Amino acid sequence: MNTLEILFYALSAFAIISATMVLISKNPIHSVLWLILVFFAISGHYILLNAQFLAIVNIIVYAGAIMVLFLFVIMLMNVKKDKEPQKQLWVKLIGVIAGGSFLTLLIALVKQNTSFQGRDVLLKEGSIGLIHPLGQALFTDYVVPFEISSVLFLSAMVGAVIIGKK
Amino acid sequence: MTLLAFDWAFIIEKLILIIIIVLTTLLITLYTTFGERKVAAILQDRPGPNRAGPFGLLQPLADGLKLIMKEEIIPTSASKWLFILGPGLAMTASLMTCAVIPWSTEIHLFGRVIALQIADINIGLLYVFAVVSMGVYGIMIGGWASNNKFSLMSALRAASQAISYEIAMGLALIALLMSTGTLSLKTIVADQVSGHWWNIVYQPLGFLIFFICAMAECNRTPFDLPEAENELNFGYHQEYSSMKLGFYLFAEYVNMIMSSAIMASMYFGGYDLPFFDESTVAPNIAAIIGVGTLLIKIVLFVFLFMWIRWTIPRFRYDQLMNLGWKKMIPLALLNMLITGALILSKL
């Protein structure tokens, strides 16, 4: 095992444990904080893939902005665990079975796909996650979808402002 | 064994560099608190702290000792782990910025070339931005974990203020990125050293926006709404005592020093001493001159922060939000447009 593999497994374990804690924490604030740790672990994976730009944007946008809004809303609503209606046991069981089946399906798909077989993750290689190649790809090959999605964001922003003004 | 195939000397070198930089930052911070009280005293025409040691120079040590000796109180209704995590996170986030600041050129020691920068990453500017956006968690977690409604209100204020001003700050950074063409702080400073004008010449409006936003991010007066004592008692750290309170108060000063260092590096040439050719002296002496120059620039910025604090009264909350959303963001967008137009006209 070289250093990269050790880092990869450590980050993966970190991500999975934090993600599990998001689900099993009773307090919504704790769930949000664990979710922030998940984003950090994923950013670590991006760095292993030599995608520093994606890693830092993941931290800025998800861990830095969206999660602050999550915390904000939960703190303002002041959700307490004792007031929160607890779900019935059978509802939880159905959720576990549905989620587990989906996971099995995903694993089966990945295992069946021949293009995935016998291949390692490309670590420390490739440059698509760096700012220069990514910008070039976005503004040449994918310029139409890129611009359409920015118009979509703009309209969502205008909509939010109009709803807020009412 | 490939695990041990590191360049161990490199790791040791970086570790020593980190320890030196963090300790120096903390030492300067200690004396910034003293400086703040002296500046306040001068502006208000009174002597200021002058009892502990000559000219009151031991005052920060006395303050620190007082904070450490006080009783640690964790409120019974507080969420214990988060209550402890809050100040630690605030301090960590404010110290993390120093990793990408180029303190000077490189020094030659024991046959090695040591760059006086902890990490030259190709996304330095964005890293600074990410760390700034992490800083708000310390305040939010601390304010919420105290289980006190004033602390919570103050934490929410701090978060909304930080989010509002981060947008204008990011837009100012984008304009700087457009004119420099790189995100690496080392390259940005090196470009300013090697013959070009300082970036303030190309980005005066951008600097003004960045400076105002930095003041808002550091929760300095006139933007210290999160600790407005006449409305919120003491703010998000109301339930804190002893060194945990000290960490919160200290983090504000570390933030101030770090944003001064960032502003000096991005807009004012970093370690560049003007009208002086560094290549005429030995590299080690040039490096030391560089560190001194950067420190002087930082001290000047910190003085500016203090001067503003003791001159301008606090904003009202709606004024703060109006300034952030209706003035700073349109101004930052305009700055971006002007920069883009100038770059296009030069092509």
- For residue range B105-117, list pLDDT tens digits in order: 877 777 777 778 8
Question: Is A60 close to B133, i.e. CB distance below 8 A?
Answer: yes
Question: Is A65 close to B2, i.e. CB distance below 8 A?
Answer: no
**Whether residue A139 sits in one domain with residue A122:** no
**Whether residue A25 sits in one domain with residue A94:** yes
Question: Is A65 close to B163, i.e. CB distance below 8 A?
Answer: yes
Contacts of B137 in chain A (CB under 8 A): 36, 68, 71
**Whether residue A156 sits in one domain with residue A91:** no
Q: What is the ipTM of this complex?
A: 0.82
**Whether residue A52 sits in one domain with residue A7:** yes
Report yes or no: A37 at the B interface, CB cutoff 8 Å.
Answer: no
Contacts of B121 in chain A (CB under 8 A): 52
Contacts of B166 in chain A (CB under 8 A): 65
**Whether residue A135 sits in one domain with residue A120:** no
B103: amino acid identity, one letter? W
Name the closest residue on chain B to residue A7, using Cα atoms: B3
Report yes or no: B183 at the A interface, CB cutoff 8 Å.
Answer: yes
**Whether residue A96 sits in one domain with residue A140:** no
pLDDT at B185: 86
Residue B196 is given by DSSP the state S
Peptide bond into B283 cis (omega under 30): no
Residue B3 is given by DSSP the state G
Name the closest residue on chain B to residue A53, using Cα atoms: B123
Q: Total structural domains in chain A? A: 2
Residue B224 is given by DSSP the state -
Report yes or no: B165 at the A interface, CB cutoff 8 Å.
Answer: no
pLDDT band with cut points at 50, 70 and 90 for residue B5:
low
Question: Is B133 close to A65, i.e. CB distance below 8 A?
Answer: yes
Q: How far is CA A130 from the centre of its chain?
A: 19
- The model's pLDDT over B115-146, given as tens digits with 9 standing for 90+, comes to 788 888 888 888 888 888 888 888 888 888 88
Give me the domain span that covers residue A54.
3-129
d(CA B328, CA B334): 10
Enumerate residue ranges in chain A where pLDDT < 70. Answer: 1, 79-86, 118-125
Report yes or no: A160 at the B interface, CB cutoff 8 Å.
Answer: no
Neighbours of B283 (CB within 10 A): 14
B79-106 average pLDDT score: 87
CATH of the domain at A122: 1.20.120.1200
- Residue B53 has phi, psi (to 5 degrees) of 75, 175
* The two three-digit tokens of residue A153, written as one number: 């964001």
Question: Is B126 close to A72, i.e. CB distance below 8 A?
Answer: no
Give the number of C-alpha atoms closer than 13 A to the C-alpha of residue B305, restricted to the C-beta side. 33
Which residues are B55's β-sheet partners?
none
Nearest CB to B156; choose among A52, A64, A72: A72
Q: Which of B225, B239, B177 is nearest to B203 (CA)?
A: B177
Contacts of A36 in chain B (CB under 8 A): 137
